[in-house]
Structure 1
Amino acid sequence: MIVVGIIGRPDSPWCHDATACLVVDGRVVVALEQERLSRRRFAPGEGPEETLRLLLAEQGLRPSDVDAIGYAWADATPEIARRVDSALPCGVLGTDRLTETVFPTLAAELRNKEIFFFDHHLCHAAQTYWFNPHRDADVLVADGTGGAGSTSLFRVRDGRFELLDRYSPLWSIGIFYEAAAFYAGLGWDAAGKLMGLSSYGRPSGRRFMTFDDGAGEFRLDPALRGLPSGGFTEERLAHEWTAIFEASAFPYAAGASNTFDYATFATDVQETVEDVGMALARRLRRRSGHDALLVAGGVALNAHLNRRLALESGYRRVSSTTAPHDGGAAIGAGLLAASVLGEPVRRRDPADPLPIFLGPAVGTAAIEAALDAESVPRQALEPEKLRAQVAEALDRGEIVAWFDGPIEVGPRALGARSLLSSPRSRTTLDRLNVIKGRAAWRPAALALTGAGFDAIDIEPAVAGLTEYMLCVHRVGERDWDRVATGVHVDGTTRAQHVADGSEFGALLGAVGRVSGLPGLINTSLNLRGRPMVLTPAHAVELFAEAPEVDLLVMPPYLVRRP
């Protein structure tokens, strides 16, 4: 059985993170975000039609081969949809009369396929559950909004989902955090920047909102002047929050010229989210009692919150996936659609490789064609020699554009589309920030093998989080000089644990043989405001536009500056 999972529609301008995946016989075989093709970050107002065409072709399939489609947002369903008999919580709606709306240029080939519409938060929970090896688990989903709610607490027992609690969009942790980032002058869709800024402030102790885990109720700081009101839209609630900040928080204006004026404000916002997240986890553990906690939704990208959940929540295991964002919800929709049609969906076995590099395959011929098209001279090397030369270049302080195999699904560069540099030199980080157009104060992430974690004084990797660069780890002061560019002002790094047997792990191993530490600074292979590169042609274009990049590596080829 061949099922498509999607999010994003061309007739809905508010859509973002359009994504498509293919589920074949109950397993995800390929997935890709539309932004990687359209080259518009977050793909606002786009559907994943172009992406679906690519994925089907990559698998040697035709649109007519598709059996059904799962859509990761039930609120997008029109009145013509009917209720589908299912034991899933929140209900399932289906119709075969929307194919032309969702896929206008593919409709004739798809032939009016059945489209199942699922609860958005359930899709987040499903993807996270089936991408982890736990038979029974609790799932905390928190994002901007998920249709009827902004935060949902699920319990899963052997593949059976139960919704325990759901909280109004009015109490959206995600919108609160995004509004705070905007107020601090960092822009919309700037949650990661605010998390980095929060490390520079001294907390005042203010909590803008709290959550009573016993009563299951959100509460606002009574000192706040103004309260979020009804008539909900995400945009309206975000602007109400910025008005509250202006009336009640210092500085008393949005977007002052000095970013660091907002450091204490950012710290208070971050600690508010951490405390609320911890209280939600306590509520979920009290109501369910499983040993494993899975986190999903945009808030699951908050690495400081995840660290506290892992260390303090009482759960023995805290995990997420490579794609906790809305793109991951599309994967969940595909898996849920397969299950509704009776296809057994198997959880990831602990022996299975991590489901990270789910993009289309990239062949040597495509790499050669991209290099030939721009007459780029290159050197072909055997894998071991290639890694050795790259490691030596990195040790000299050079910056490497690393393009290797299928692209990562999700917002983090995890070793397929990366800009790499040595963790020792802060001047190298300055050069990297110039390439990326990043503010110099923002933190950089450190990628380490298991031997790398053992070689420095750093908190242990958290299985299920650190592989996806979703957890911060404290680094002991005695090793700050060895990984200076990867340690933030608060003494932490958003580390990535890289498997020794992976291609990226083999490169880190070569780095370790040269430098003594199998670790690198790892950030996404893109320029400011653009998505990660997808194709070899994109990588060649980036290399031409960014002279600060010293090497372009697309195995088996190494490209140097003339």
Structure 2
Amino acid sequence: MRILGLSAFYHDSAAALVIDGHIVAAAQEERFTRKKHDSSFPAQAIAYCLAETGIALDAVDHVVFYEKPFLKFERLLETYTAFAPRGFGSFSRAMPIWLREKLFQKDLLCRELKAIAPKSDWRDRLLFSEHHLSHAASAFYPSPFQDAVVLTMDGVGEWCTGSAAVGRGNDLSIIKEMRFPHSLGLLYSAFTYYTGFKVNSGEYKVMGLAPYGTPDYADTILDNLIDLKDDGSFRLDMSYFDYCTGLTMTNQKFADLFGQPVRDPKTDRLTPFHMNMAASIQKVAEEVMLRLTRALAREHGGGNLCLAGGVALNCVANGKVLRDGAFDNIWIQPASGDAGGALGAALVAWHQHVGGKRQVNGHDLMQGAYLGPAYAQGEIERDLAKAGARFSVASDEEMLEATAASLAAGEAVGWMQGRMEFGPRSLGARSILGDPRSPTMQKTLNLRIKYRESFRPFAPAVLREDVGEWFELDGDSPYMLLVADVRKERRRQMTNEEEARFGIEKLNAVRSDIPAVTHIDYSARIQTVHAETNPRFHALISRFKAKTGCPVLVNTSFNVRGEPIVCTPEDAFRCFMGSDIELLVVGNCLMRKTEQDPSLKLDYKSAFELD
């Protein structure tokens, strides 16, 4: 049974192919179109998924969309009715688009599918899941657990903004919901907007900025914006927000509450106020998550917890939930956002529509999230030559030795190997790597290579067998979705002068043996690297450890700010030539910047719309 799951038309369109319950392929459309958060119909992602198994779209038994457009249209109408006449302007602008495109989304999907496979009638083969059921399915069905509580939180689906579900074997049932407009994801996005970052892409910047400030406004948020109950349920005071009826997240009353206007990212610098706002909303989000998970553990037992939805990408909150210990085990879907809804929709169809059985073997079924396209060595050489690259071809041993030596010498390395990752994190298949021992590596990568804000933290990729010796975590974190502290014996004692620094100035202090991945609160967003799922990346870190004694590398996504993660060898070469990366390794091909044709150098700093 071949089932194709789709998400599209909002942000992060994607396709995922499931055959007899096995996840065969999954990819986001942005990786092919090179348009960040591309929301268009995922034609190229579909083409990739089908090519991975050599089948045509006609051979697919069901196509499943990740949400129900009619329910979303119902929410739009009821919301505008409830708030009328306020918001008529945005209503009048939105309604023609909904009537033309989204209300008749089944017709639109059938037309798009028919354009690929014109001989098939898709009306009987096209299914629709619900948004939060798709999220829940993406978390539970690939998890290593036979039984689990599943918590999903995001901005909004059709009506639902958060759900609790119980999974047992083949069964998955949502038992509780929170409904629009009361939403933790939208609350966090309101502060993303207020601090001058882009909604639906800048939330992780707020999380990264939070440790530079203090949560001075957390009580103001709890006293005015959110009525939070002991069990984690809540209601928002909508008089402070404008997302129901307007075109912005917050209004003047919100700005008056905190005493400053919305930051304009083009003209206004980040100040200690914005850092404190980030710290405050982060603390409130963590408190909501802790109350929710504690209440669910009391009600259903504290065995296994699965997480999905955009809020599950908040790795700091995830780390707090893990250390809180309400649940014994936690598993988080690596593609927790809407892209993962495509996979969840396919799994809903397999397990609930078709009745297919689960295979639970103690390991998750995501295959390390390496579900995207790979390129054979011959393809790599042909494509790089076509792009004008000057490269040498090395044996596996020579390639690992040269790459580890470059890293140990303090160089930044572009690393493209095997199948591309599914989800927003680079996990050692499409990565920029660096030496975590370097006190200047974080600033170098941010400013000279990624062209992004200097405060942004980087993640350590650490050998799974060594994680407990470097971090206060003794478990798996393969998807970079848990934060834990650097072990005390690896930390450096701060001087009085360093302790007195404020805000971004804190970056200049060396805090540990691995300063490039140690945040200012001594935390780190950890990726454990497993030989079973990524043997080549594991071998590289092992070689670096043999040279330096350090089983850790800086791992960040292979792109510049505003660009999707690279997909093809040509993408990798362009990014290499548009940044200050010194060495590029694609398969067994090695390219040094100093040996490239200088006429191919690109200006990547302004090549993409900033995220």
User: Are the structure 2 counterparts of residues 532 and 248 from structure 1 closer, same or farther at C-alpha, using a change threshold of 3 Å?
Assistant: same
Q: Are 2:131 and 1:120 equivalent residues in the alignment?
A: yes
Corresponding letter in the other structure for 1:211? L
Contact 1:58 1:361 in 2 (8 A): no
Contact 1:149 1:169 in 2 (8 A): yes
Partner of 2:537 in structure 1?
504
Deviation larger for 301-310 or 204-213: 204-213
User: Are the structure 2 counterparts of residues 166 and 510 from structure 1 closer, same or farther at C-alpha, using a change threshold of 3 Å?
Assistant: same
Tell me the distance in 1 between the aligned counterparts of 2:365 and 2:347.
18
Tell me the distance in 2 between the aligned counterparts of 1:273 and 1:351.
30
Tell me the distance in 1 between the aligned counterparts of 2:372 and 2:192.
31
Tell me the distance in 1 between the aligned counterparts of 2:336 and 2:66.
13
Partner of 1:209 in structure 2?
226
Q: Are 2:413 and 1:369 equivalent residues in the alignment?
A: no
Q: Are 2:17 and 1:22 equivalent residues in the alignment?
A: yes
Tell me the distance in 2 between the aligned counterparts of 1:307 and 1:183.
25
Q: Are 2:116 and 1:106 equivalent residues in the alignment?
A: yes
Corresponding letter in the other structure for 2:27? L
Q: Are 2:245 and 1:245 equivalent residues in the alignment?
A: no
User: Are the structure 2 counterparts of residues 524 and 345 from structure 1 closer, same or farther at C-alpha, using a change threshold of 3 Å?
Assistant: farther
Partner of 2:85 in structure 1?
none
Q: Are 2:29 and 1:39 equivalent residues in the alignment?
A: no
Q: Structure 1 length normalisation: TM-score?
A: 0.89
Deviation at 1:461, TM superposition (A): 4.1
Partner of 1:254 in structure 2?
263
Partner of 2:581 in structure 1?
549
Contact 2:240 2:254 in 1 (8 A): no
Contact 1:406 1:416 in 2 (8 A): yes
1:287 to 296, 299, 304: 299
Contact 1:242 1:254 in 2 (8 A): no
Tell me the distance in 1 between the aligned counterparts of 2:399 and 2:573.
18
Q: Structure 2 length normalisation: TM-score?
A: 0.82
After TM superposition, list the pairs within 5 Å mapping 1:261-280 onto structure 2: 261-280=273-292
Q: Are 2:194 and 1:186 equivalent residues in the alignment?
A: no
Contact 1:210 1:219 in 2 (8 A): yes
Partner of 1:195 in structure 2?
207
Partner of 1:438 in structure 2?
452
Deviation at 1:419, TM superposition (A): 0.3
Tell me the distance in 2 between the aligned counterparts of 1:131 and 1:552.
33
1:320-376 CA distances to partner (integer Å, 9 max, x unpaired)?
A: 122111111100111111234425242452256752100123211220111110332
Deviation at 1:182, TM superposition (A): 1.6
Deviation at 1:110, TM superposition (A): 4.1
2:522 to 463, 478, 491: 491
Contact 2:195 2:274 in 1 (8 A): yes
Partner of 1:218 in structure 2?
234
Deviation at 1:514, TM superposition (A): 0.7
Contact 2:131 2:157 in 1 (8 A): yes
1:65-123 CA distances to partner (integer Å, 9 max, x unpaired)?
A: 111111101135799xxxxxxxxxxxxxx998664344352251543251111111111
User: Are the structure 2 counterparts of residues 451 and 25 from structure 1 closer, same or farther at C-alpha, using a change threshold of 3 Å?
Assistant: closer
Larger helix percent: 2
Deviation at 1:310, TM superposition (A): 0.6
3-state SS of paired residue (2:181): helix
Contact 2:233 2:292 in 1 (8 A): no
Partner of 1:403 in structure 2?
416
User: Are the structure 2 counterparts of residues 161 and 343 from structure 1 closer, same or farther at C-alpha, using a change threshold of 3 Å?
Assistant: closer
After TM superposition, list the pairs within 5 Å mapping 1:150-549 onto structure 2: 150-188=161-199, 189-204=201-216, 205-206=218-219, 207=222, 208-214=225-231, 217-220=233-236, 226-228=239-241, 232=244, 239=249, 241-255=250-264, 256-351=268-363, 354-355=366-367, 356-433=369-446, 434-456=448-470, 458-463=471-476, 466-480=477-491, 481-501=512-532, 502-546=535-579, 548-549=580-581
Deviation at 1:306, TM superposition (A): 0.4
Tell me the distance in 2 between the aligned counterparts of 1:304 and 1:99.
37
User: Are the structure 2 counterparts of residues 242 and 438 from structure 1 closer, same or farther at C-alpha, using a change threshold of 3 Å?
Assistant: farther
* RMSD across aligned positions (CA): 2.4
Deviation at 1:290, TM superposition (A): 5.0
3-state SS of paired residue (1:171): coil
Unaligned runs of 5+ in 2: 74-103, 492-511, 596-611
Tell me the distance in 2 between the aligned counterparts of 1:476 and 1:330.
38
3-state SS of paired residue (2:272): helix
Tell me the distance in 2 between the aligned counterparts of 1:353 and 1:161.
17
1:56 to 30, 50, 53: 50
Corresponding letter in the other structure for 2:177? R
Contact 2:584 2:592 in 1 (8 A): yes
3-state SS of paired residue (1:334): helix
Contact 1:210 1:272 in 2 (8 A): no
Q: Number of residues paired by the alignment? A: 530
3-state SS of paired residue (2:212): coil
Tell me the distance in 2 between the aligned counterparts of 1:3 and 1:137.
24
User: Are the structure 2 counterparts of residues 520 and 244 from structure 1 closer, same or farther at C-alpha, using a change threshold of 3 Å?
Assistant: farther
Tell me the distance in 1 between the aligned counterparts of 2:135 and 2:405.
42
User: Are the structure 2 counterparts of residues 542 and 551 from structure 1 closer, same or farther at C-alpha, using a change threshold of 3 Å?
Assistant: same
Tell me the distance in 2 between the aligned counterparts of 1:381 and 1:454.
34
Deviation at 1:243, TM superposition (A): 3.7
User: Are the structure 2 counterparts of residues 286 and 335 from structure 1 closer, same or farther at C-alpha, using a change threshold of 3 Å?
Assistant: same
Contact 2:418 2:429 in 1 (8 A): yes
3-state SS of paired residue (2:524): strand
Corresponding letter in the other structure for 1:527? V
Tell me the distance in 1 between the aligned counterparts of 2:427 and 2:105.
38
Corresponding letter in the other structure for 1:246? A
Contact 1:278 1:313 in 2 (8 A): no
Contact 1:179 1:242 in 2 (8 A): no
Contact 1:455 1:517 in 2 (8 A): no
Corresponding letter in the other structure for 2:14? T
1:560 to 592, 595, 606: 592
User: Are the structure 2 counterparts of residues 245 and 200 from structure 1 closer, same or farther at C-alpha, using a change threshold of 3 Å?
Assistant: farther
Deviation at 1:402, TM superposition (A): 0.2
Deviation at 1:431, TM superposition (A): 2.1
Deviation larger for 252-261 or 190-199: 252-261
User: Are the structure 2 counterparts of residues 280 and 386 from structure 1 closer, same or farther at C-alpha, using a change threshold of 3 Å?
Assistant: same
1:103-152 CA distances to partner (integer Å, 9 max, x unpaired)?
A: 35225154325111111111111111111111110011000112111011
Contact 1:143 1:173 in 2 (8 A): yes
